[in-house]
Amino acid sequence: MIALMSKAKLYFSRNYNPRLAVAAARYLKSPVEFEFASPFSPGQSEKFIKLNPNLSVPILVEGDRTLWEADAIACRLSQLANSHFWPMGDSLPDVIRWISWGYWNFVRACDRVHFERVTKQRYGIGPVRQDLVLSGLNEFASSAAILEGHLGAADWLVGSRVTYADFRVACVLPFADLAGLPLADFPRVEAWHARLMDIPAWRDPFSGLDAPELPPIQTGSG
């Protein structure tokens, strides 16, 4: 097992990519300190731009080493834990395939709908664009159908147990009800996410952490 550098810290928020990193860290029981962060808040940008030029979280800091992006952080933490969660053997290309496909298809579709129906309403950044909702729902349906077919022969995306590929592809699904994503139209996908929800680290990654709730969704904006 690779030794974790001292004073490792994971900066996070409750949005779904930081949530993904926290869920991975807690699933792996990584010995990191969790710290809620808001890089765009007044007075915070100077600190965080030194850690991530994108001014976004999650960010993993190990000593004088900084790593950003949820996928990279999950890979690093799994490497440190010597865990099957990010397998390094023959199944690695399959994991990468699902991570890549998920990001550019299923996750992107979910995100498009979520951004219009949820994010815009949380932060008051404009009316819902129904054309983008419709295109997102169409892409959701086509990519969910691919997942539905794959999950007909397997409980998980790669092999016989959960891997980071499952976490990545499902990263928006904890927000599916808020976004109005028709998950029930795809019973195998819905059952797959139910299996993920049986994992405490996925179901409630912020349990016991100082993690302020996201702003409430405003009404009358769409």
Q: What is the CATH number of the domain that holds 53?
A: 3.40.30.10
**Sign, CA torsion 44/48/49/53:** negative
* Residue 6 banded pLDDT, cuts 50, 70, 90: low
Structure tokens at 67: 């790593």
Pairing of strands 59-62, 65-68: antiparallel
Rounded Cα distance between 31 and 13, Å, is 18
Q: How many CB atoms lie within 10 A of CB 28?
A: 21
Residue 123 located in a structural domain: yes
* Residue 44 banded pLDDT, cuts 50, 70, 90: confident
Nearest to 24 by CA among 181, 207, 201: 201
Shared-domain flag, residues 63 and 110 = no
Residue 205 located in a structural domain: no
Domain count along the chain: 2
Statement: residue 221 has pLDDT above 60: no
**pLDDT of 220:** 54
pTM: 0.93
Shared-domain flag, residues 168 and 109 = yes
For residue 70, the enclosing domain spans 9-81
Nearest to 14 by CA among 218, 168, 212, 220: 212
> Residue 3 to residues 24, 74, 77, 78: CA-CA distances in angstroms?
18, 16, 11, 12
Residue 208 located in a structural domain: no
**pLDDT of 3:** 55
Residue 206 located in a structural domain: no
pLDDT in tens, 186-207: 999 999 999 999 999 999 999 9
Main-chain phi, psi angles of 60, to 5 degrees: -105, 125
Shared-domain flag, residues 105 and 74 = no
Residue that is last in its domain, among 81, 110, 134: 81
Q: What is the CATH number of the domain that holds 122?
A: 1.20.1050.10
